[in-house]
Amino acid sequence: MNVWSRIKGLFSDRQDSPKTVTPALRPAKARKRRRTGHFMLMFLLVFIALVVVSEAALAIINFFFWDTVSVGSYVVPIAIMPVIAVAITGVIIWINNENAKLANRFADAFERLSHGEFGYQLEAPQKGQFRLLFENFNKMSKELSSIQTLKDEFIHDFSHEFKTPIASINGFANLLLEGGLTDDEQRQYLKIIADESARLSGLAESTLMLNKLENQQFIGEVKPYSLDLQIKECIILLEREWSAKEITINSELPSVRFEGNAQLMQQVWLNLLSNAIKFTPSHGEIGVSIKLMGGVITVRVSDTGIGMSKEVASHVFDKYYQGDKSHSTRGNGLGLSIVKRIVTLSGGDVTVESKENVGSTFIVRLPV
């Protein structure tokens, strides 16, 4: 067998005969052959490149400096060429192996992610081309983990909140079917069913709206409009509710222009005003004011209602959270979550100041 056939055999992926190699050892031997073949091929290419470069350099030097420089002073002995080739080949293979290890770690991480192991983190290298890739993977993994957590919480809270009105409707409907009730009892039960149905419908609409808002990164179409007129219109829309409780509305609404999504911002004021009306007792007061200062619009909606503790105030913007555990004031726990999301998308923030048995003030700050 000639030399070329031997070299060619090293580059081959062919495995040894099954008679001499057990099946368990074949993959390992095949990998070893491939590594050896790759090394020899790389060595041969580098060696040839060095010879070509040396000969080219020799030709150039000989052409320009043939009369001033002796040949022996610049000719590199051919004997050290293999050593240089081995060194360069080793460096190249080491770099390639390091990159291969990082690529394998990256592939393994994606495999974990595909099997639902959200939140899995990779230890990013300190430098190199893979660092940014690993960091972006970790961010994506965290985001997927957060989405999965939100999904689980949504399913749990959604099922819990829907269970109560459905149980009420089912219970009172069965009582009506059994018969033997007075006219007053029938009307009372029918009213409860109607109220719970309306609550269920409102909960579904609010849930869909909040889910849509949480998936939005932008507020949508914006245009300048009169913010004070919008709030006045919301007060008028809710006149039936606050008039029924003989609540006094104290408003201080100077003319202010705001650039935003008018439809969504209307939902903010309706939710805040409805919340104030709900928790303010009869003959109470609700205050609404606008102030423009330092490029910030500040809207305050205050009431003389039951107020809330610091613990309740810290969770009042959480989804499905209801501070009134007695349910004497019914709600779905989504109104203020919707308010916060819309205000956040508008580039502002909303906070609450409250004192038990004194009242609450919701403060919305918006950029001009």
pLDDT confidence of residue 7 = 39
Residue range(s) in the chain whose domain bears CATH number 3.30.565.10: 223-367
> Cα separation of 137 and 103, whole Å?
13
Q: 200: how many CB neighbours lie within 10 A of its CB?
A: 18
d(CA 243, CA 277): 10
Find out whether 328 and 268 touch, Cβ atoms under 8 Å: no
Predicted confidence at residue 327, as pLDDT, reads: 43
Task: Please state which of the four CATH numbers 1.10.287.130, 3.20.20.140, 3.40.50.720, 1.10.10.10 is assigned to the domain occupying 144-214.
Answer: 1.10.287.130
CATH of domain 223-367: 3.30.565.10
Q: In the 3-class helix/strand/coil scheme, how is the chain assigned residue by residue?
A: CCHHHHHHHHHCCCCCCCCCCCCCCHHHHHHHHHHHHHHHHHHHHHHHHHHHHHHHHHHHHHHHHCCCCCHHHCCCCHHHHHHHHHHHHHHHHHHHHHHHHHHHHHHHHHHHHHCCCCCCCCCCCCCCCCHHHHHHHHHHHHHHHHHHHHHHHHHHHHHHHHHHHHHHHHHHHHHHHHCCCCHHHHHHHHHHHHHHHHHHHHHHHHHHHHHHHHCCCCCCCCEEEEHHHHHHHHHHHCHHHHHHCCCEEEEECCCCEEEECHHHHHHHHHHHHHHHHHHCCCCCEEEEEEEEECCEEEEEEEECCCCCCHHHHHHCCCCCCCCCCCCCCCCCCCHHHHHHHHHHHCCCEEEEEEECCCEEEEEEEEEC
pTM of the model: 0.52
> Which residues of the chain does CATH 1.10.287.130 include?
144-214
Alpha-carbon separation of residue 39 from 13, 50, 141, 246 (angstroms): 14, 16, 37, 90
- Which pLDDT does position 253 carry in this prediction? 95
Distance CA 91, CA 97 (A): 10
pLDDT, position 328 = 43
CA distance 352 to 169: 35
- Average pLDDT per block of 10 residues along the chain, 368 residues long: 44 44 52 64 69 66 60 53 66 71 76 75 70 78 70 67 80 88 89 85 74 72 93 93 94 94 90 92 95 94 91 81 52 76 92 92 94
